[in-house]
């Protein structure tokens, strides 16, 4: 007695390039999702100037913030820009307030005419 051959189930019914596209797409999507997996740390960037000797080193910035009760995770300086990293947004806000108050006290306030003169404008008042 002869038996009929059973039809075999096709396991790979898509071509290889379609599987390759699927794998590459999954890898790209996984890489684009990585920043949301690791999260962000709140930070503040301060541009350091050579004329300002009050906040020119990370040690001085850290001592100012520590004196006001604000703790930083790290302070890095690259190309005259200091980046302060904090554990949470509350510390970031406190540091911004401390640095803002300190900066207003230590930075001289210039009038509009002083700023224009520094930029090379000559102001002449003409009277008839």
Return all residues near 96 (Cβ < 8 A) that are at least 6 apart.
44
Whole-structure pTM value: 0.52
Q: What is the pLDDT along the chain (128 residues), one digit of tens a residue?
A: 567 777 777 666 788 899 999 999 999 999 888 877 777 788 888 877 766 667 777 888 888 888 888 888 888 888 888 888 888 888 888 888 888 776 544 444 445 555 566 666 655 544 44
DSSP E strands, the chain:
43-47, 74-78, 81-85
Q: How far apart are CA 114 and CA 123, in angstroms?
A: 10
Picking from 55, 120, 43, the residue whose alpha carbon sits closest to that of residue 83 is 43
Sign of CA dihedral 26, 32, 34, 39: negative
Number of residues written out for the chain:
128
């Amino acid at each position: 007695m002869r038996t009929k051959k059973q039809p075999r189930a096709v396991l790979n019914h898509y071509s290889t390039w379609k599987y390759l596209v699927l794998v590459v797409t999954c890898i790209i999507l996984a890489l684009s999702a990585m920043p949301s997996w690791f999260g962000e740390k709140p930070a503040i960037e301060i541009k350091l100037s050579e004329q300002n000797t009050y906040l020119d080193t990370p040690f001085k910035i850290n001592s100012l913030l520590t004196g006001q009760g604000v703790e930083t995770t790290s302070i890095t300086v690259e190309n005259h820009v200091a980046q302060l990293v904090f554990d949470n947004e509350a510390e970031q806000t406190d540091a911004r307030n401390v640095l803002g108050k300190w900066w207003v006290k230590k930075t001289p306030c210039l009038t509009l005419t002083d700023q224009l003169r520094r930029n090379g404008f000559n102001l002449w008042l003409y009277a008839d």
